[in-house]
Amino acid sequence: MSETRVKIRIGVLAIQGAFFEHRAALLKAANDLTLSKETEIEVVDVREPDELVELDGLILPGGESTTMSLFLQASNFEEVLKEWIAAKENQRVVWGTCAGLILLSNDIEGQKEGGQSKIGGIDVTTSRNFFGRQVNSFEANVSLHNKFLAEYHSNSSNGFSDGSIDDGYHGVFIRAPAVVSVNNPKVEVLATITVPQREEPVVVGVVQDNLIATAFHPELTEDARWHAYFLRQILEKINPAKN
């Protein structure tokens, strides 16, 4: 008798940002990891609170963080989303990119007057416009501090090559935030970037429990390692014995 196929349902918050690109990158990552033989992956757009039902993972894409938080407040999405994340003993995985990092941070620097709504959950302090405005957007090498991410190669038939390490990643930063303080030992630093005139590397990727956040946009590159990492985290929550 053949094994039962694992079904994963992933949502992408389709308010702003490159949600179509996230969908394509997820499917590419699934192919790289050869998940298609054992895992059925469905990716859906999410615009209403009731569309969170039955999701195993959710991506909060880039965009304007204030606009996104206002939308979440107006539709009562924010409270529903917080409850959804906390349910099932943190088995649901959420990944925020750029503005998503801001929304998932417990503390935010550079907020607009009156403060900013947030989801929270990652015990870091994030600066909203750390790298400047839209005109200061850039691309740069990102150092990876996670074994899975460093060993992953998208051009391989199974996502990995001969075990060689590639701890550099080409990051796309668009009006990007950055983590200026890690406030809990449970937070794992996944990625940093070297910035001129700063002694210490700047943190641009973190994970805490079931929450992942990056200051850059992996969906805008051909390298699917971050989406593969996200899928792997979901699989480990669903079936820890197999992973």
| Per-residue DSSP letter, 220 | G
174 marked ligand binding residue: yes
- Encoded tokens for 176: 């990007």
64 marked ligand binding residue: yes
The DSSP bridge partners found for residue 192 are 143, 203
Q: How many other C-beta atoms can be found within 10 angstroms of the C-beta atom of residue 64?
A: 15
157 marked ligand binding residue: no
Of the residues 78, 151, 219, 227, only one is catalytic, namely 219
Q: How far is CA 40 from CA 2, 57, 93, in A?
A: 15, 14, 17
Residue with tokens 């054992």: 38
pLDDT tens readout for residues 192-219 = 999 887 889 999 999 999 999 999 999 9
Residue 227 known to be catalytic: no
Q: How far is CA 11 from CA 14, 48, 61, in A?
A: 9, 11, 11
128 marked ligand binding residue: yes
d(CA 227, CA 97): 11
63 marked ligand binding residue: yes
Question: Band of the pLDDT at 110, cuts 50, 70, 90?
Answer: confident
pTM given for the model: 0.89
Q: What kind of architecture, by CATH, is found in domain 6-238?
A: 3-Layer(aba) Sandwich (3.40)
3-state secondary structure of 214: strand
Residue 217 known to be catalytic: yes
Of the residues 22, 78, 151, 217, only one is catalytic, namely 217
Res 95 pLDDT > 90: yes
Structural domain boundaries of the chain? 6-238
pLDDT value of position 161: 44
* Cα–Cα nearest to 26, from 209, 197, 234, 194: 234
- Encoded tokens for 81: 């989303």
Of the residues 98, 109, 170, 236, only one is catalytic, namely 98
